[in-house]
Amino acid sequence: MTIIGRTSSAIVVTLALGLSVASGPGAAQVPAVSRTPASHGIETAGMDRAVAPGDDFFAYANGTWLKKTTIPADRASTGNFAMLDELTSKRTSDLILGLAKTNAPAGSDARKIGDYYASYLDQAAIDARGTAPLKPLLDAIAAIADRTSLARALGGTLRADIDILNSTNLYTSNLFGLWIAQDLSDPSRYSAFLVQGGLGMPDREYYIDASPRMAAIRTKYGAHIAAVLRLAGFPDARARAARVLELERRIARAHWSREATEDVAKGNNHVTLAQLQARAPGLDWKTFFQAAGLGGERQLVVWQPSAFTGIAALVGSLPIDTWKDFLAFHAVDQRSGVLPKAFVNESFAFYGSVLSGTPQLPDRWKSAVEATNGALGDAVGRLYAARYFPPQSKAAVEALVRNLMTAFVARIDRLDWMAPATRANAKAKVAALKVGIGYPDRWLDYSALRVVRGDAFGNAERAQAFELKRNLAKLGRPVDRGEWVMTPQTVNAVNLPAMNALNFPAAILQPPFFDPQRPAAMNYGAIGSVIGHEISHSFDDQGALFDPTGRLANWWTPADLAHFRAAADRLAKQFDAYRPFPDLAVKGKQTLGENIADVAGVAAAYDAWKLSLRGQPAPAAQGLSGDQQFFLAFAQNWRSKSREPAARQQILTDGHAPARYRADTVRNIDAWYPAFGVKPGQKLALSSGARVRIW
């Protein structure tokens, strides 16, 4: 439940930043990044005033920018989030390079960060080692001789790589994914959640859609599998690839859809080992769990039960050699970033170019930053927050959050359809929200992670093992509601409904989303709507199912729940009508949670901004009224441009609607109409009764 989704390739464009940089947690003073005074406001040059706001508000706010902007050759998309991604990556790289050049004490986080980054960056050294690092993995796969050893090998691939309620990461190419989180039925303890996997492409639709476009992608994926196996030294690569692709197609047929997977009530299935053995025969589950480090768990949560039944049957029925080819391909493919350049190029040719439409491989330093963040994210984030997130910014955002919370409670109080009992529970849920601003209260301890300079492959393996062990260690311990799932250098935000907690990383709390030097209306329209969006996720179609403690429990009266669901259905139908391509429409149900959060979030942010004025009139700026500043800032949040393959992938796999339709969600907000003189008959205009009001 994030503010934006993430695709497989990073995004790049430079942006000047305007926060005055002071000391964060333990940082020294550094110079501020310069910014011209004119940039402290709405970016009017990118607007297209020839477009009527009531016909296409996204184009009115962003149309000139959209026409003039070229997506960089090494990116699948660009826009405001992309700009901050690029700036944050560059700043992070500079921080890490400083560590890589110093002689920090052995075993320190600084030394580990520098050594990890330098090792990953050194492609020449990786090339010199060739495929030798793969040999132990591939030898172990080759030694699989029976179903028991196959189960052991499959269990050994389980990683902490899935988070159902943070929908940026919903699929894994390992046979199953693991998620260790607060139990949805008993918030006092952690549980292990198992999730369907086994697909190298982003979603089941890539395997089962019969259209010529998808058939062509499948052909290219088969060629990619063959190329990877050939590079790894396997004979008969084409025949092996055909078997792997057919296996994945059969796995895909067993998978749940994205919409079904996001239904929390359907996914919360507690099962014992004996029950799983009975319901999903074909896989030796006891051996699988022992190899995965879960042998001591009496009960787990299986998110998509019928998918597990179907996949386990394939494990028990298909030839072992087919599974060995599957394991070998994915073992190599997943590690392409720390293998010789030919593997890097092949991986990008499919995942970057075919799936996302990106024509040029990004510079190595960008993937090195991403890899280092993945392995030592909190340690890097501590440095980032110290350098780039001053205390005054933290205090200002905290004040915004307080106003948003107050406004949201006031909106709950004004709901004339809600019964007193439901209202009391909703307000209790807001009061219990744990909001993290900038960075976590406690940082992860990386003392057990061994990083060896010059061993990029080994460092990546040890980092994965460290993360798995860290997550498994949560089982049996008290739940930590202060744990973050995002690092401070992440340009995003998240609501964790099971924890009833919010994370707002430092990297998103800067221009163009938050700028202490511009009018309050713009900050509330931009970062305020982001904050409101995340608060609202506690009350979207899935978040509303959790009580204030994070327990999956119905706290609604039947009439209130029926009213809520009817309003949600109307919003889903509104988004079903959007068609970015002639053959592909937005999926209203799949994107419903994010759309509810957008509508409720911008409404709450508007109320919070009005609250902050304390009865005084809103000052005009740049020839714009306060209301115009607010709504334009919101629409410019969603300034974005994507290549067609990436845009199609988002529609198929992401819980977020395309950016332009998120900007146009203002059509449901009453105050937007007089602010821009929107008249009946214009394309976005809705009668008062047709506007969706959920919270």
* pLDDT of res. 542: 86
Q: How far is CA 303 from the centre of its chain?
A: 19
* pLDDT of res. 693: 93
Q: What is the dihedral of CA 262, 266, 268, 269, to 10 degrees?
A: -140
Quote the tokens at residue 644: 């067609």
Which residue type sits at 320? I
* pLDDT of res. 161: 76
**Which helix (DSSP H) or strand (DSSP E) does residue 667 occupy?**
none
SS3 270: strand
What backbone torsions phi and psi does residue 397 show, to the nearest 5 degrees? Answer: -70, -40
Contact 60, 51 (CB under 8 A): yes
How many Cα atoms occupy the beta-carbon half-sphere of 430 within 13 Å? Answer: 25
**Residue positions counted in the chain:** 695
How far is Cα 369 from Cα 337, in angstroms, rounded to an integer?
Answer: 12
Q: Tell me the sheet residues that pair with 179.
A: 193
Which residue type sits at 500? N
How far is Cα 677 from Cα 80, in angstroms, rounded to an integer?
Answer: 27
Contact 429, 548 (CB under 8 A): yes
Strands 190-196, 299-302: pairing is parallel
Contact 314, 247 (CB under 8 A): yes
SS3 307: helix
How far is Cα 473 from Cα 453, in angstroms, rounded to an integer?
Answer: 27
CATH number of 53-94+367-690: 3.40.390.10
Contact 58, 638 (CB under 8 A): yes
SS3 78: strand
Please list the ranges in the chain whose pLDDT falls under 70.
Answer: 1, 3-39, 162-170
Residues 6 or more apart in contact with residue 367 via CB below 8 angstroms: 10, 120, 337
* pLDDT of res. 6: 39
- Judge whether 53-94+367-690 and 131-339 match in fold: no
Which pTM was predicted?
Answer: 0.90
Contact 287, 322 (CB under 8 A): no
**Which helix (DSSP H) or strand (DSSP E) does residue 23 occupy?**
none
How many Cα atoms occupy the beta-carbon half-sphere of 169 within 13 Å? Answer: 13
Contact 585, 576 (CB under 8 A): yes
Which residue type sits at 538? S
Nearest one of 226, 255, 256 to 240, comparing CA atoms? 226
* pLDDT of res. 103: 79
* pLDDT of res. 259: 87
Contact 141, 327 (CB under 8 A): yes
Q: Where are the domains of the chain?
A: 53-94+367-690, 131-339
In DSSP notation, 484-535 reads -SS-TT-S--EEETTTTEEEEEGGGSSTTT--TTS-HHHHIIIIIHHHHHHH
CATH architecture of the domain formed by 131-339: Orthogonal Bundle (1.10)
How far is Cα 555 from Cα 478, in angstroms, rounded to an integer?
Answer: 25
Quote the tokens at residue 495: 């609501």
What backbone torsions phi and psi does residue 182 show, to the nearest 5 degrees? Answer: -55, 130
